[in-house]
Structure 1
């Protein structure tokens, strides 16, 4: 790397990076490496690109290590992030939020992020409205040490495609969730959220006490959960389960059900019994979580599968949740 930005060696957790005004429209950042000095997570600072209310910017061929995030965008539109590598982070690799639309995240690899490697979060606390028309494609996420490889929280008309996820340590390979985390947030719209052409290998773990996580986690929570389309996915050797369905509860009552959710051409193989302290929560290809997790479960709602394949799982389907229905078509 002929151009390198280095945080000071004489201290830790230095907030270095780029912010941009709206007048920066049309700018590009390309062909450099950025080395931070973060040794712990601090929410707020530590983003290489900390953008809000800007548009039409290209980020291309960046190598980044030891920061909190590579990119955090609040109400940022027509942003392209491409050909970049993200290493050893303390939070998200890329997170678009607060009405960010028409963005393209393509041909990037994240290794060892401390939160979701690539995320969309439809919060509206800092301006903006609907999260829509974003494309995340040709991505690799490996060794995520906290949270998921891919995560989408609300929005509509967003597409995630051509993705490889492997070796997540404590969480799901993919999280699809309507949890608002206590922020003002829009849930999922009726127009689809599409996830397609994905391989998920050795994903899932346990976190938040005794909760286990799957290859794909579908979590209906504090906002509407609908319009989910997941196509052409191979889940191989998940740590605990292939796909888990779960619902958040408040005051002993479910918040929102899973609805209008269709998964097509899904293969789940190698979901084996874990043999550890969480063995009872393992070995399921599909699991409608009936467990009394704190503030969660049992799952509520309905999903439909078209072209579902199983192989070498301890139990292909576990659904004892009385309010959850799994429809399986050839």
Structure 2
């Protein structure tokens, strides 16, 4: 189906089923789906069933009318149980998400732009495996710009073998630029994240958010490679401050993490923060099998604001993130760590967390 240049008014979702199709526009500057201007929070986009596996969507824009968060609807591509789908050269603004995939496999999202959303830019969950997310740009998302969540509430098994590459994320206003919550053998590489407004540039976490999920698999590990984190971190959820990279062991096992060739520049509060979740005063899973190689952290300065006491650390093993919590627990190994121009290079006053520096 070819859609020539023009504005296409739409007020509901298209349901794709029966066989694979191609929806091709004249390019996102020219072929534009537009939600009604007389309404707000209209659910538009594409739902797809597995009978449409192998479909392609390319060369158009979706301009939504969302003005508040409303979890559930609002995903331009809302796929469940699909495979071999292609999304290419799409422009999305004022929606909840560009893509939400549950149990979606061997699919590709590339060359697309995400602007001013109220939730994640792209999120894959519930057994999504073998997907590639490449050469997409996200700006001003209202949750993690690019995320993997190893939830199992909808079935599908392990989130694994996905590649997120060649991606910039900027000005995220409610969560991180990049986030992974559990999974096995997922790769994040060639990333640029800058100017996070309230949260970490990168979140690596085993928190389940109250949803059934698996933690991190031991092998193959979750890998982060060739990354720049610039002017990132903020304060959110009360008085907690967030770093350039947040490493958070929580309700599920935390293991098999590798970060290689990472530059963290001018973080708002701290460069890397290690944190562990506690319930009823009892520590949950510790940080284990976490190795960081060729890491550079510079410019972690005192913030001078109400959270000054929680700022200025290149690396921070957080001793008390929030009331009722406890100190970071476990071990992290650094190979070839460079720390420059930080108020405090390493803060670790705990007896529960060990930083090994080679």
Residue aligning to 2:5: none
Which secondary structure does the structure 1 equivalent of 2:51 belong to? Answer: helix
Which secondary structure does the structure 1 equivalent of 2:351 belong to? Answer: coil
Deviation at 1:266, TM superposition (A): 0.3
Residue aligning to 2:273: 244
Distance 2:326 2:80 in 1: 36
Which secondary structure does the structure 2 equivalent of 1:23 belong to? Answer: helix
The answer to whether 1:54 aligns with 2:49 is no
Deviation at 1:294, TM superposition (A): 3.4
Residue aligning to 1:303: 332
Deviation at 1:106, TM superposition (A): 0.1
Residue aligning to 1:123: 151
Distance 1:65 1:273 in 2: 36
- Which segments of structure 1 move beyond 4 Å, counting only runs of 4 or more? none
Whether contact under 8 Å (1:248, 1:295) holds in the other structure is no
Residue aligning to 2:228: 199
Residue aligning to 1:167: 195
Residue aligning to 1:218: 247
Distance 1:139 1:247 in 2: 28
Deviation at 1:262, TM superposition (A): 0.1
Whether contact under 8 Å (2:60, 2:91) holds in the other structure is yes
The answer to whether 1:154 aligns with 2:182 is yes
Deviation at 1:297, TM superposition (A): 3.1
Residue aligning to 1:15: 43
Distance 1:76 1:89 in 2: 22
Distance 1:256 1:88 in 2: 35
Which secondary structure does the structure 2 equivalent of 1:56 belong to? Answer: coil
- RMSD over aligned CA atoms reads 0.6
> Which structure 1 residue ranges, 5 or more long, are not aligned?
none
Residue aligning to 2:217: 189
Residue aligning to 1:178: 206
Residue aligning to 1:272: 301
Deviation at 1:292, TM superposition (A): 5.0
Whether contact under 8 Å (2:281, 2:326) holds in the other structure is no
TM-score, structure 1 length as denominator? 0.99
> Which structure 2 residue ranges, 5 or more long, are not aligned?
1-28
Which structure 2 residues correspond to residues 67-78 of structure 1 after superposition, within 5 A?
A: 67-78=95-106
Shift in CA distance, 100/292, structure 1 to aligned 2, threshold 3 Å = closer
Aligned residues: 329
CA deviation map 1:160-209 (0-9, x unaligned): 00000000000000000000000110000001000010000000000000
Q: Which moved more, 1:7-16 or 1:291-300?
A: 291-300
Say which one has the larger Rg.
2
TM-score, structure 2 length as denominator? 0.91
CA deviation map 1:268-292 (0-9, x unaligned): 0000000000000000000000025
Residue aligning to 2:61: 33
Whether contact under 8 Å (2:229, 2:263) holds in the other structure is yes
CA deviation map 1:83-141 (0-9, x unaligned): 00000000000000000000000000000000000000000001111111000000000
Deviation at 1:295, TM superposition (A): 4.2
Which secondary structure does the structure 2 equivalent of 1:73 belong to? Answer: strand
